[in-house]
């Protein structure tokens, strides 16, 4: 599994461009097509790719980032993801995404612009009473239809 | 593994998972007459021993497989086999009396009936891939002949086992294709196949009173027919992968015949019975 953390992601690709390969697997890459084939040869100095794995714990849940695996191709990545993130039946669905297909955006000018933005935050509004009232209304109309939802509490 | 944000968020829901039904269905041994019970027991013992011994051989890769990910995956496959063996030993214990642990761990090394394919030591990675691939392809043929067994509990258990074995086979197919690509992996793979070839069909040694199992609809085809089927499939795939093996068709009749346990199996037996032998009769 990759040791790469957020700290390794120093250079940002231009907005909308695929991230340059920076993982521990990074090596000079002639073309994006040839690289998969090169990496597919284990034991010849090629480091396997990193694949990010997302999992869904039960039907209806969000897909959450679970971690990653190293694998030289999509087939093995799928097998490894299955074993590492669902062998104890903890997932009902996995997404396996090659790290090179992820668009990485960490440019501070785009994400952390220097000007004051506090006016975009909702601070100062007290929502509690309004929320409570809304929940009661929702519960009342829900209760007349069905048993009412659990898990509505935010 | 990079840190997952999940841990920090809401406390993880630990769903307690209960099996909808027990893995081993309840059955009444009175449904089978004594000779059929005996024949079925012989078949189950060979299957259980095969799965059990393969599981322990492959667990020898835990900690030293080529990659961390493969280490976890291959160890998990090995655990699956032990799980299948447990089911089959439990079924056997119900048929013949005794208990599954005693069957699994309480026998002398000479009393196991695994096929000769499993008498070889772990050797290198290509060898373990080749062996498991030969085993999994053969096992798929054997399970297929049992999935509609007239003995319903066996059919049910086999159907569950098949779902896991399908995945095992996919995993091994990936590795066979990889190693067959060329260079040193290819050479090691061919060397392993050459060593294993005489035992490639050993799983299909006939079981005592096999005819009765076929008459009763418990087993769909004779072991000989299964061996022929396996041989044809095997040859086709190997040609496809560009792998050459000694041309002669392996025999299978003596696939479980041995005067005594091989040295490598005796060593493995020493490993997997070590804890059991510490304190005979203890419950763990």
Determine which of A130-144, B137-151, B176-190 has the lowest per-residue pLDDT on average.
A130-144
pLDDT value for B19: 55
Q: Report the pLDDT averaged over residues B122-145.
A: 97
Domains and CATH numbers, chain B: 31-278 (1.20.1260.10)
Answer yes or no: are the C-beta atoms of B142 and B128 closer than 8 Å: no
Residue pLDDT, tens place only, B151-168: 999 999 999 999 999 999
- Mutation pick from A72, A80, A88, A102 vs chain B, by most beta carbons of B within 10 Å, is A80
Residues of chain A found within 8 Å of residue B1, distances taken between Cβ atoms: 1-2, 67-68
Is A9 a residue whose pLDDT tops 50? no
Q: What mean pLDDT is reported for chain A?
A: 74
Locate tokens 């346990």: which residue?
B261
Distance CA B87, CA B90 (A): 5
Residues of chain B found within 8 Å of residue A4, distances taken between Cβ atoms: 2
- Tell me whether residues B178 and A67 touch, CB distance under 8 A: no
User: Which of B5, B66, B67 lies closest to A65 in CB terms?
Assistant: B5
| Closest chain A residue to B169, measured at CA | A79
Higher local confidence (pLDDT), B27 or A29: B27
Question: Rounded to two decimals, what is the model's pTM?
Answer: 0.77
Answer yes or no: are the C-beta atoms of B44 and B86 closer than 8 Å: no
User: What letters, b where the CB count within 10 A reaches 16 and e where it falls short, cover B244-277?
Assistant: ebeeeebebeebbeeeebbeebeebbeebbeebe
Answer yes or no: are the C-beta atoms of B205 and B117 closer than 8 Å: no
Share of chain B above pLDDT 70, in %: 92
pLDDT value for A70: 96
pLDDT value for B2: 43
User: Which of A2, A66, A83 lies closest to B73 in CB terms?
Assistant: A83
| Closest chain A residue to B13, measured at CA | A57
pLDDT band at A48; cut points 50, 70, 90: confident
- Tell me whether residues B15 and A64 touch, CB distance under 8 A: no
Residue pLDDT, tens place only, A67-110: 999 999 999 999 999 999 998 889 999 999 999 999 999 998 88
DSSP state of B65: S
pLDDT value for B207: 95
Residue pLDDT, tens place only, B28-53: 888 899 999 999 999 999 999 999 99
pLDDT band at B108; cut points 50, 70, 90: very high
pLDDT value for B247: 73
Share of chain A above pLDDT 90, in %: 44
pLDDT band at A146; cut points 50, 70, 90: low
pLDDT value for B4: 43
Provide the 3-class DSSP secondary structure of residue A76.
helix
pLDDT value for B45: 97
Closest CA of chain A from B187, distance in Å: 13
- Mutation pick from B61, B67, B177 vs chain A, by most beta carbons of A within 10 Å, is B67
Answer yes or no: are the C-beta atoms of A93 and B21 closer than 8 Å: no
Residue pLDDT, tens place only, B188-243: 999 999 999 999 999 999 999 999 999 999 999 999 999 999 999 999 999 999 99
Is A4 a residue whose pLDDT tops 90? no
Higher local confidence (pLDDT), A31 or A60: A60
pLDDT value for B266: 97
ipTM exceeds 0.85, yes or no: no
Higher local confidence (pLDDT), A124 or B89: B89
Q: What mean pLDDT is reported for chain B?
A: 91
User: Which of B17, B174, B183 lies closest to A76 in CB terms?
Assistant: B174
Domains and CATH numbers, chain A: 6-106 (3.10.20.520), 109-144 (no CATH)
- Tell me whether residues A80 and B3 touch, CB distance under 8 A: no
pLDDT band at A1; cut points 50, 70, 90: low
Provide the 3-class DSSP secondary structure of residue A93.
strand
- Tell me whether residues B73 and A67 touch, CB distance under 8 A: no
Answer yes or no: are the C-beta atoms of A128 and A80 closer than 8 Å: no
Higher local confidence (pLDDT), A152 or A144: A144
Residue pLDDT, tens place only, B258-275: 999 999 999 999 999 999
- Tell me whether residues B70 and A80 touch, CB distance under 8 A: yes
Q: Report the pLDDT averaged over residues B86-108.
A: 94
CB neighbour list of residue A115: distance below 8 Å, 6 or more residues apart: none
> Chains A, B: CB contacts under 8 A, how many?
67
pLDDT value for A2: 55
| Closest chain B residue to A58, measured at CA | B15
User: Which of A5, A76, A83 lies closest to B2 in CB terms?
Assistant: A5
Q: Which of B264, B279, B229 is nearest to B249 (CA)?
A: B229
Other beta carbons within 10 angstroms of residue B66's beta carbon come to: 14
- Tell me whether residues B70 and A4 touch, CB distance under 8 A: no
């Amino acid at each position: 599994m990759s040791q790469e953390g957020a700290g390794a992601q120093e250079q940002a690709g231009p907005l909308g461009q695929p991230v340059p390969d920076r993982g521990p697997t990074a090596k000079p890459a002639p073309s994006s097509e040839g690289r998969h084939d090169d990496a597919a040869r284990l034991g010849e100095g090629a480091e396997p790719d990193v694949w990010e794995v997302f999992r869904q714990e039960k039907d209806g849940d969000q897909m959450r980032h679970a971690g990653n695996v190293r694998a030289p191709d999509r087939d093995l990545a799928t097998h490894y993801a299955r074993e590492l993130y669902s062998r104890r039946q903890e997932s009902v669905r996995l997404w396996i995404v090659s790290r090179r297909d992820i668009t990485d955006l960490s440019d501070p000018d785009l994400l952390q612009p220097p000007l004051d933005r506090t006016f975009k935050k909702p601070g100062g509004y007290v929502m509690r009473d309004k929320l409570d009232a809304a929940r009661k209304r929702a519960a009342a109309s829900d209760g007349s239809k069905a048993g009412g939802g659990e898990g509505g509490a935010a | 593994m990079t840190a997952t944000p999940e841990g920090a968020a809401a406390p993880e829901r630990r769903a307690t998972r209960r099996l909808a039904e027990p893995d081993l269905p309840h059955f009444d041994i009175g449904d089978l007459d004594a000779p059929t019970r005996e024949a079925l027991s012989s078949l189950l013992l060979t299957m259980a021993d095969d799965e059990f011994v393969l599981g322990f051989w492959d667990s020898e890769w835990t900690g030293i497989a080529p990659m961390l990910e493969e280490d976890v995956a291959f160890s998990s496959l090995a655990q699956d086999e032990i799980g299948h063996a447990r089911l089959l030993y439990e079924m056997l214990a119900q048929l013949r009396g005794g208990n599954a642990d005693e069957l699994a761990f309480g026998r002398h090394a000479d009393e196991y009936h695994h096929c000769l394919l499993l008498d070889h030591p772990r050797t290198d990675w290509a060898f373990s891939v080749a062996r498991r691939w030969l085993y999994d392809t053969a096992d798929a043929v054997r399970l297929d002949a049992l999935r509609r067994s007239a003995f319903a509990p066996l059919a049910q258990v086999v159907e569950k086992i098949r779902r896991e074995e399908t995945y095992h086979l996919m995993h091994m197919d990936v590795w066979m294709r990889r190693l067959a690509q060329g260079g040193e992996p290819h050479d090691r793979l061919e060397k392993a196949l050459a060593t294993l070839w005489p035992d490639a069909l050993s799983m299909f040694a006939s079981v005592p009173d096999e005819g009765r199992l076929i008459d009763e609809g418990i087993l769909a085809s004779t072991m000989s027919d299964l061996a022929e089927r396996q041989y044809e499939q095997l040859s086709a795939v190997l040609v496809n992968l560009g792998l050459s093996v000694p041309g002669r068709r392996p025999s299978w009749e003596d696939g479980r015949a041995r005067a005594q346990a091989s040295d490598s199996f005796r060593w493995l037996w020493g490993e997997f019975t070590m804890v059991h032998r510490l304190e005979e009769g203890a419950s763990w």
